[in-house]
Amino acid sequence: MSPITHFLASWVVADTVLENDRDKMLVALAGILPDLDSLGVVCDFLSPALGGPETQLYADYHHFLFHGFPGILVLAGVLAWRAVEKKKVFLWAFLVAHIHSLCDFVGSRGPTDTIEDLWPIYYWGPFTREFGNFLWTDQWKLNGWQNVSFTIALLIWVFYAAWKYDRSPFRPISPKVHGEFVKALRNRFGTPE
């Protein structure tokens, strides 16, 4: 799924189960950081454009470094290290990163219907591709209606939580932006009871 959908989904979980804004953002990050292993795409694009060798880091490493158990363990550990409630953030980050992989498992197909556009999850990557691989042949397309609907539902929830409960992903980053956001919603939809 797209990083925006991943972020919204993990924010909604974090916002529901945690109290501290910093911890919420750390757990929300656990929902997008698995895609660090897709950054090889930059090199794949730039290297030949700058006269260097052809690379295929994206194809080789995406879903292989941080979408399985070992990579998620590392991500959850690093995020928990920066947290207020470390144990809680570790457990939720671990779970949320798994939700990321699950979302990719169901909805990260490329633009065509060919087998090459299906993305498996390598659960024991980066150590092996021999076993523990998950692939769903009916995988939704990345821009399929299922992903679009899911993203819209998440957005509606984020807007509702901001309007009703004065909580949003902006609050940990910029209380001022958060305040303006909530104010704009309450001006438009009225003050909640």
Report in angstroms how near the CB of residue 181 gets to Zn ion at its nearest: 27
At CB < 8 A and 24+ separation, what contacts does 129-132 make?
129/64, 132/68
Of the candidates 114, 101, 161, 172, the one whose C-alpha atom is nearest the C-alpha of residue 141 is 114
Q: Which of 15, 21, 23, 35 binds Zn ion (CB under 5 A)?
A: 35
Report in angstroms how near the CB of residue 158 gets to Zn ion at its nearest: 20
Q: Sketch the per residue contact string, 91 through 130, with Zn ion: x for CB under 5 A, - otherwise.
A: -------------x--------------------------
Report in angstroms how near the CB of residue 169 gets to Zn ion at its nearest: 19
User: Closest CB to Zn ion belongs to which residue?
Assistant: 104
The smaller minimum CB distance to Zn ion, of residues 21 and 35, is found at 35
The smaller minimum CB distance to Zn ion, of residues 14 and 75, is found at 75
* CB-based burial label for 115 (10 Å; 0-12, 13-18, 19+): exposed
Cβ atoms of 86 and 29 within 8 Å: the answer is no
Q: Sketch the per residue contact string, 153 through 172, with Zn ion: x for CB under 5 A, - otherwise.
A: --------------------
How far apart CA 17 and CA 85 sit, in angstroms, is 12
How far apart CA 73 and CA 90 sit, in angstroms, is 9
How far apart CA 24 and CA 137 sit, in angstroms, is 34
Report in angstroms how near the CB of residue 193 gets to Zn ion at its nearest: 39
Q: Which of residues 48-87 bind Zn ion (CB under 5 A)?
A: none
3-state secondary structure of 141: strand
Interface contacts to Zn ion, rule CB under 5 A: 34-35, 104
